[in-house]
Each structure stands twice: as C-alpha cells, then as structure tokens.
Amino acid sequence: MIKNLDQIFLLFEHWIVSFLPVAWRPMGAIILSVLAIISIFPALFALTTVFERKGLGRIQNRIGPNRVGPLGIFQPIADGIKSLTKEDIVPTSADGVVHFLAPIVQVLAVFMGFAVLPMGRNMVLADMDAGLLFYFSMGASTELSVFMAGWSSRNKYSLLGAMRAVAQMISYEVTLLLSAVPVVMIAGSLSLTKIVAAQNYYTHGLPHWYIFTPWGLAGFVLYAIATTAETNRSPFDLPEGESELVAGYHTEYSGFKFALFFLGEYLAMFSISGMGATLFFGGWAAPFPFLEWIPSWIWFFSKLMLSIFVFIWLRGTLPRLRQDQLMNFAWKFILPLCLLNVLVTALWHFLGVGWERWVFCSLILALAYVLMGLGGMRGMKVGPRRYRYAE
C-alpha cells in the first residue's frame, strides 16, 4: 500500500499507457510525464504567488490578500484572468519577432530543466548521465531570453535591465557551477539520480546528506546565494529594480507575455530549489529512516517549498544591492570561497574517514570566511546612516 502510494504517479501513468498500442507506449509515457510537469509546476506557481504575498504581508505586519475567495486563496485565478484580458502592447519600434519569442524562450528553457530533476523514487523524466550538466546549460540559456527581451523592446530601461541581468547572471553562473562541483567530486557522478542515491543511506538513524558536511554546508550557502542571484530574486533583483528601472527587461511587456515572464521567474525558482534539494538535501530521501513510509515525492516537494519559503523570507528582509556591490560580492567573495571549497572537498576526500577531516575542513572554511569577511569589510563604514544636507 505504502509502496503503491510512493509510486502512485508511475502506476497511474502505466495504467493510462496500457490503453495505447504497444508501439506508442514509450512516447505516450513521455508525453504524460511532460504534461504532468507542465501542469503541476504552474499550479504550484499560482499557489506560491498568493502565499508569497501573504507571507510578505505577515513579515510587514499586514494581512495580505484576503478578498478573493476564502482567505484570498483564489487571488491567482483573478490575476490570471486579469492578465489574459489585458491588452497586449508591442512597442512600435520593437523587434516584433524577438519581442514575441523572449518570454516563450524563457519558459521553455526553464521547463527543460525539470526534465532531469528526480522528483521522487523513479520519478525522473530523462535520467541522463550528465543530468547536472544538462540542467545548468538549460539554466544558462534563460539569460538569452532576458537579453532578447531587453534588446528587442527598444527601451532604455529594458536594455539597462537586461544588461544588468546578463552581467549578474553570468557572474553568478560561475559560482553556481563551482558550488555544485564538490557534490560531483564526492558523488562521483553527474547523474542526479546517482547523486540522490549517494546521499540516501543512514548511519545511527542519521542521513548522509551533503549539507551535514563542512564542505556541503559551505557549498549550500554559496549555492543559495548564487541561486538567489540567478533567479533575480531580492536582494539581487537589480535587473528588475522597480525604483530605478521601472521593471527592468520586462518593462515593455504586458498582458500574458508579462505573465509568462513572471511564470518563468517562479519556475526557475522551483527548479533551482529542487536542484538544491537534490544536491545537498538528499533529493527525495526522507530525513530519518523511520519516516521513509511517507512517499518520496512528498519529501521532494516539501523540501522545495521550504526553500521557497526561505526565498520569500529573504525577500521580506533584505534591501536591494547596488550594482558594484553585487559584482564585488560575486567576484571577490563568493568565487574565491567556491574555489577554496573545491580544494577543501578534495582534502576531505583524501584525508579518509576519521575525525581529522571534520576538524581540518571546518577550520579552513570558517577561517577563510571570517578572514575574507574582515578583509572585505575593512574600510567600510557599518552603522546607522548619517545624512548630510546642503547648506
């Protein structure tokens, strides 16, 4: 029974596919999985928008949307209808084709990433040997859509936003990849199912997730920072900084095209959160052996939603960075730490099992963090702002 619940989606798929002629079955199974992915994640997106607004409201001691339906739960439906009925404006001097393609490319590229994510036991659409590589290459191609949008709009704000976005995303792409490298080094595989399998065992009732190692913790923190920047979320939301750039690269988008960008942003958040869970939190694995009866997909999605909550929490807490701060942070702080983390992981591997590697690796990372923090903050005035007025 529990086993069936764990595999319920696969069994359902097999049942539906069994109605098809044998020759069509593999194709039918793939189409069904794709349909499942492209219906579940947008639904999750709709829920997340309302939860985000309510969560941000609570963080600011407000109630948040509570008008449409009980507790405002139907707000995304109203928003969807609104964006569908809005006029779709294309600027006269815009490049029509590219302007039209940009949101589609964005959503497509993001959806491709979901193909290799293992969302539960045996629940992966395409179990590639180089899944991680495929995932990151697809993630990187969203930059193209951002620049397409900014360039084709023929609007200075759009272009500025797109240029910021490309600078930011390329900088953080490097750290994103480097922060995932230690996992590959230890797991010895680029296949995401193998990475999950490598973490999915217990000693003394404790899991072997990579987050519970010094390099894994450091890697996760770096990964989290890089993902926040990569998905253009606050505090790294300069490409769409409302206060300075109207709406950044999607200034000239309205109606459903804008909704697609919005969808793409959230889907990127989901997929990158799912990737984070896969790399550092054991993917669909249960945290304790006695909780293994809960279906694996519930674990995957709860880990995903937890990280979405952290995203929202960060958004409600941190103010936006300045462009030079953002770049300095990426190249002078995150990147060296990422490289150091790769070295530390190698050290961890060659020191062998024992307490020494725990002490050494933790010490090196903590020391590097503290020293680099001190070095970076030297000469920086930290404290309440002092205002100077013209006299």
Partner 1 sequence: MLGEGILKGLTETARNFFGSFVSPERLTTVQYPEERIAPFEAARSFPFLVFDAKNPGDDADWLAGLRCVSCHICEKECPPKCIFIEKSKDKKPDALGKQQFYPTRFDIDISVCMSCQICVEVCPFDAIKMNTVFELSTTDRFGGLLLDRQQLAQSNEYYHQIHPTEAAGVDEMRAAEKAKADAKAKAATEAAAKAAAAKAQAAQQPAGGAQS
Interacting residues with partner 1 (CB under 8 A): 55, 58-63, 313-314, 316-318, 369-370, 372-374, 376-377, 382
Q: Which is nearer to partner 1, 68 or 318 (CB)?
A: 318
Q: Cα(315)–Cα(52) distance, rounded to whole angstroms?
A: 10
Q: Which is nearer to partner 1, 60 or 93 (CB)?
A: 60
Q: Which is nearer to partner 1, 55 or 264 (CB)?
A: 55
> 155: number of CA atoms within 13 Å, CB side?
23
Beta carbon of residue 345, minimum distance to partner 1 (angstroms, whole number): 22
Q: Which is nearer to partner 1, 55 or 207 (CB)?
A: 55
Q: Which is nearer to partner 1, 291 or 377 (CB)?
A: 377
Contact indicator for 109, 148 with CB cutoff of 8 Å? no
Beta carbon of residue 83, minimum distance to partner 1 (angstroms, whole number): 24
> CA-based angle 186:175:236, to the nearest 5?
135
Q: Which is nearer to partner 1, 167 or 318 (CB)?
A: 318
Beta carbon of residue 5, minimum distance to partner 1 (angstroms, whole number): 32
Beta carbon of residue 85, minimum distance to partner 1 (angstroms, whole number): 19
Beta carbon of residue 146, minimum distance to partner 1 (angstroms, whole number): 27
Residue 120 makes CB contacts below 8 A (sequence gap 6+) with 6, 9, 284, 295, 296, 297, 300
What token pair was written down for 167? 């600078």
Q: Which is nearer to partner 1, 35 or 377 (CB)?
A: 377
Q: Which is nearer to partner 1, 26 or 376 (CB)?
A: 376
Beta carbon of residue 74, minimum distance to partner 1 (angstroms, whole number): 18
Beta carbon of residue 19, minimum distance to partner 1 (angstroms, whole number): 48
Q: Which is nearer to partner 1, 58 or 82 (CB)?
A: 58
Contact indicator for 285, 118 with CB cutoff of 8 Å? no
Contact indicator for 219, 180 with CB cutoff of 8 Å? yes
Residue 304 makes CB contacts below 8 A (sequence gap 6+) with 270, 273, 274, 277
Beta carbon of residue 60, minimum distance to partner 1 (angstroms, whole number): 7
Beta carbon of residue 72, minimum distance to partner 1 (angstroms, whole number): 12
Report the DSSP pairing between strands 202-203 and 206-207: antiparallel
CB count, 10 Å around CB of 177? 18
- 255-280 helix and 142-152 helix, angle to the nearest 10 degrees: 160
> Residue 64 corresponds to which amino acid?
G
DSSP notation for 322-387 = PHHHHHHIIIIIIHHHHHHHHHHHHHHHHH-SSHHHHHHHHHHHHHHHHHHHHHHHTT---SS---
Q: Cα(345)–Cα(182) distance, rounded to whole angstroms?
A: 6
